[in-house]
Amino acid sequence: MRKLLVVMAALGGLSVSVAWAAGTITFDQTLITIGDAPTRGRLVLRTEPETRSLPEIAAPAEPGDAPALTDQFTSASTTLPSHGGGDDALHLTTNTTLQSGTYDVSTFTVDAGVLVHCAGPVTIRTSGDALVEGSIQALGSDAHVILLCDGDFTARAVSGFAAPSMRSGTRLARMVVDALGDVTISGRTDGTGDCEFYGSQGVLVSARSVGTLLDVANAEFSAGPHGVYLRSEGDIVTRHITMTSSGGGMNIAAFGGDATVFASDIDTGSLGLRLLASGSFGIGDGSSVITKHVTVRAESGSLKITDDSLLEVRGTTTDIRVGDDVIIEDDSRLRHVGGGLPAEIVAEEGSLRLGPGDARLESTGSGAMIVRVGEDVSVGAGASISAVDGDIELHAARDVDAEGDVTSRFGAVTVRAGRDLAFSDPVDAETEITGAALALAAGGDLELTSARAKSGALSASAGGSLRASGAISAAQSIDVVALAGSIDVGGSAISTSPSDQESGSIRLETWAGDAAPIDLTAASLSTGTADATSGNILILVSEAPPSPGAPSEDDGKVTETPPGASEEFPLELLRARAKPARRDTWRIRARWTIALDADPVDLDPDLAVTIGSTRLPVSFTKRARRGVAVYKGDGVTLRVRPAAEEGVLRFDLTAKPALGDALSGRGNGTLDVVVSTSAWSASTRVELQRGRFRADR
């Protein structure tokens, strides 16, 4: 009580309300200042049970499911002639003119240095391979060049000769290469001669069969209204390519694997760009990709921008949705300059990772930067997330860990973590929009060194404990709340700004009663001066009364026998994903529902999940928010919650079981999944392709 009296004396004649019942508030070299005003605010200290309801921590927005890939080639291919071929080879060794028409051959070869003129529209169909080392030039203004190969297609530069080129007519003519085998395009590696593909209407280069490879190095693609489309039913590897278009968008689409763009320059001007892969998509080795709007899909993999590369959107929308991680590292940039439209980055079952190096995710326009991930957000030292005019929203189902800056100059910053949230560098929300706020929310613990809301309010809410050690300031009010842990602001400076009307108040409140103190050692708390009323300072240790149906100490114990001893229930698997971890161990994520009318915390203690031949026992750990029960075992976490349908439970699993050779190295195979207790079981069989299963496929 002596320390409290010292504080009261320092406050002079201010109105102070103090009520002691339970809990601890520690003052030691603490400075509390309430701003001057005609009506001065109050200091309120209270440690007692509360009649108010326990506040809720704002949960992160769920990433949702990435939509299925769409193939624009499907509609484009309907206008192409059908594949064919013949018995005789067509091998051109000298300059030649081909008349308009269709040529059915076994193989097609153009030697290095040979120029082939097409007098009109020409279609060449091969039953085997095609090799172009020379050039094909259409003479008619609307003359297309279409090469349909049932085998492989290769265009390659030969030393001592000009690099291959394939050019359609100059007015609304297509240049098409459609191969059922692999497509390989290679210009000179020294940069003195790139393979050239030009279509006045559009360019389409396709490796159409499952598992085929489109491999392009040292090539230029330019097109008219229908743009450039590079596609494969396998992987796409591009190095040192240039893509330009005068009227149509551009597409790089790997529908059966991964796609990479290395050391390349892509500029769509006022047009759009689609980067699609059923696996992962990579941009690296100093690549520059600039477009008006971009759509990125990496269905079961990651988007990785590395090695001082740039993906920049100038004008409209940034739409990035991947199955796994979004990674920006090694001085690379993902930049959104999109007017008032938002940039949306979604990692359905993965994380956003910035760094190492000066990696940046930035918005230089007025559109918001919205990130939703199924796991973590990590901003490494030296990396940053920034916006000039727009808001920043970061939503992570698990943790947010930022060693780099997260700043918005004129917008608000909202960060929500399902588990812990930690900032070790400043977090700025320099908003000049009245009412804009900096809002930090963590389902677990929250830690920050400093935070500033220059023109709005600041709130920091933690489901566990909260620790702040630097400068915390806001133009309006500051709310710091911890539901189940302590508040430690020792050494911090917490302040609200002066106002020509009312200055903002400061509230520090823990709801864990005497089990969680508030530590104000060496802290300073001050509200701004005001022309009318200065803000209050409230330091509260509260304990909410239990609400009907609230979890008790008996949570996790069996209160009733689950329905139907030894009863079988149908298990509906919604999605599953497997990635190699080490040796025969796989990282498994899965989601399913069971028509089991039970409370998630009332499942048997012997609840287990069996994947293949590996049984994974779990036991109740805690009841999380919104009715979620968390079960954990050795290397496995199971979250159970009521589904939207009545009487149905949803199960979300993360585990690393040993599967032996049940799955191939590429993640193909069949697994039996069983959820069981001593009283009931539910099972299904799932076939994984490339480590992935979705119920809607």
Positions in the chain short of pLDDT 50: 1-22, 75-78, 430-435, 547-565, 696-697
Residue 121: asked if its preceding bond is cis (omega within 30°), the reply is no
Q: Are strands 585-594 and 649-655 parallel, antiparallel or unpaired?
A: antiparallel
Beta bridge mates, 199: 223
Q: What is the pLDDT of residue 598?
A: 78
Could you tell me the end-to-end alpha-carbon distance of the chain, in angstroms, rounded to an integer?
68
| Distance in angstroms (rounded) separating the CA atoms of residues 515 and 541 | 10
Cβ neighbours for 474, distance < 8 A, ≥ 6 positions apart: 438, 452, 453, 454, 456, 457, 458, 496, 497, 504
Beta bridge mates, 385: 361, 406
CA-angle at 399, arms to 471 and 540, nearest 5°: 50
Of the candidates 134, 129, 65, 67, the residue with the CA atom closest to the CA atom of residue 98: 134
Structural contact between residues 539 and 25, judged by C-beta atoms closer than 8 angstroms:
yes
Structural contact between residues 208 and 177, judged by C-beta atoms closer than 8 angstroms:
no
Q: What is the pLDDT of residue 497?
A: 95
In which residue are the tokens 């919604």 written? 574
| Distance in angstroms (rounded) separating the CA atoms of residues 690 and 659 | 15
Q: Is 647 helix (H, G, I), strand (E, B) or coil?
A: coil
Q: What is the pLDDT of residue 664?
A: 65
Q: What is the pLDDT of residue 263?
A: 92
Q: Is 466 helix (H, G, I), strand (E, B) or coil?
A: strand
CA within 13 Å, CB half, 321: 13
Burial label, 500 (beta-carbon count in 10 A; 0-12, 13-18, 19+): exposed
Q: What is the pLDDT of residue 141?
A: 78
Q: What is the pLDDT of residue 51?
A: 62
Of the candidates 64, 63, 68, 67, the residue with the CA atom closest to the CA atom of residue 371: 63
CA within 13 Å, CB half, 61: 15
Q: Is 690 helix (H, G, I), strand (E, B) or coil?
A: coil
Q: What is the pLDDT of residue 378?
A: 93
| Distance in angstroms (rounded) separating the CA atoms of residues 34 and 232 | 67
Q: Is 571 helix (H, G, I), strand (E, B) or coil?
A: strand
Is the Cα torsion angle 514, 519, 521, 523 positive or negative in sign?
Answer: negative
Beta bridge mates, 47: 20, 541
DSSP structure class, residue 5: H
Structural contact between residues 625 and 654, judged by C-beta atoms closer than 8 angstroms:
no
Q: What is the pLDDT of residue 556?
A: 34
How many C-beta atoms surround the C-beta of residue 246 within 10 A?
13
Can you give the length of the chain in residues? Answer: 697
| Distance in angstroms (rounded) separating the CA atoms of residues 49 and 528 | 30
Q: Are strands 478-482 and 400-402 parallel, antiparallel or unpaired?
A: unpaired
| Distance in angstroms (rounded) separating the CA atoms of residues 236 and 215 | 6
- What are the strands, taking DSSP E only, across 595-696? 608-611, 614-617, 619-623, 629-633, 636-642, 649-655, 669-676, 680-688, 692-694
Q: What is the pLDDT of residue 474?
A: 94
Structural contact between residues 281 and 321, judged by C-beta atoms closer than 8 angstroms:
no
Q: What is the pLDDT of residue 411?
A: 83
The helix, strand and coil proportions of the chain, stated in percent and rounded to the nearest 5, come to: 5, 50, 50
Q: Is the pTM of this model over 0.85?
A: no
Measured CA to CA in angstroms, residue 116 lies from 122, 134, 145, 168, 363 at distances of 11, 8, 11, 12, 48
How many C-beta atoms surround the C-beta of residue 2 within 10 A?
6
